[in-house]
Amino acid sequence: MDISSIHPQKFMEALEGQALKDSVIIDVREPHEWEYYHLDEATLIPMGQIPHRLGELPEDRDIYLVCAHGVRSYRVAEYLQENGIERVINVDGGMAAVAMLRGFQYD
């Protein structure tokens, strides 16, 4: 199984250029992490809830997955592909990398 990924700079360029408007962005962090810093365009579905919420995810659109550093989102991408959702892209470096690009310190 090969998981697609995107460099955080390319992801942010696509997001800011409206190239992702037909895509879905899922943040798989926990609510307390989301409250600290998140993308307005993203939907929060914590990693542990993904199995119970598979029906909410589209199979006909790209799904970009983000977490704190790119590890949990990679695991979620693997899980989704194993369960028939193929159009998943992991954001390398997660919110830590995105925050750095936006000049925000995220730990």
Catalytic residue from among 24, 66, 67, 80: 67
CATH of domain 4-101: 3.40.250.10
Per-residue pLDDT reduced to its tens digit, 27-51: 999 999 999 889 999 999 999 999 9
pLDDT of residue 101: 83
pLDDT of 105 above 80 = no
Beta 43-44 vs 88-91: how paired, if at all?
A: unpaired
67 is catalytic: yes
pLDDT of residue 107: 55
pLDDT of residue 102: 76
Name the token pair of 35. Answer: 């409250």
Per-residue pLDDT reduced to its tens digit, 50-98: 999 999 999 999 999 999 999 999 999 999 999 999 999 999 999 999 9
The H or E element containing residue 83 is none
Residue 106 banded pLDDT, cuts 50, 70, 90:
low
The CA distance from 56 to 99, in Å, is 27
